[in-house]
A and B are shown apart, each in its own frame.
Chain A
Amino acid sequence: GIQVEQSPPDLILQEGANSTLRCNFSDSVNNLQWFHQNPWGQLINLFYIPSGTKQNGRLSATTVATERYSLLYISSSQTTDSGVYFCAVEFSANTGNQFYFGTGTSLTVIP
């Protein structure tokens, strides 16, 4: 299978700080998404970004598919940004498509 590793595993930020979350994957992927899992367990779509750069408000993401990594930038963090951030990839295996979530980054934003 494919390995999807995220760093850092845990992050504590002061409100207003910026941060960069990283997702490394061990093989070529078809698709990549970033999700925010809030404290209630909901998985919220942030970006669909198999390649390139996208921005949405205080969040932006960049995927460099040829180098097998993606970055999620959070600027001017707010307490509501707390939760776990996952990247997820679609990988074509011999047995068909497989979907893998990364190990997650747990973010805590303190006032």
Chain B
Amino acid sequence: AAGVIQSPRHLIKEKRETATLKCYPIPRHDTVYWYQQGPGQDPQFLISFYEKMQSDKGSIPDRFSAQQFSDYHSELNMSSLELGDSALYFCASSLMAALAGVVGRANEQFFGPGTRLTVL
């Protein structure tokens, strides 16, 4: 079965540079989530999108922005990178409750392999 695709898998940037991470959800999934996992930490929710509109917002820094496009893929844009931004960035996708509720799997999230960002 098709899974969530993230690119690139690894990224190395210098301080103050910008980075763009991409996420391609599972086909027919309409909701995308972004998470940040620092070394030895649990994943932290950043932001989510449903049907191309921002749905919920977590602890996303102001230097970061994200959007979901007409084909449902999403991009996380990160500017003025700091050393502390070095982390594993996960994208997840799900089928919104209204469509998935009938099979009792509303908002079950499936995660991509992650992008490992290193800021030097």
Contact = CB atoms under 8 A, between A and B. Distances in A.
B105 A102 contact: no
A98 B58 contact: yes
Interface in B74-120: 88, 90, 105-111, 113-114, 116
Contacts, number: 54
Q: Is the interface of B mostly helix, strand, loop or mixed?
A: strand
Interface residues of A, number: 22
Among B48, B56, B114, chain A packs the most CB atoms within 10 A around the CB of: B56
Interface of B: 33, 35, 42-45, 48, 55-58, 88, 90, 105-111, 113-114, 116
Interface of A: 30-31, 33, 35, 41-43, 45, 48, 86, 88, 90, 95-104
Given A42-B114, A99-B33, 4 more contacts: A86-B42, A86-B43, A96-B57, A98-B58
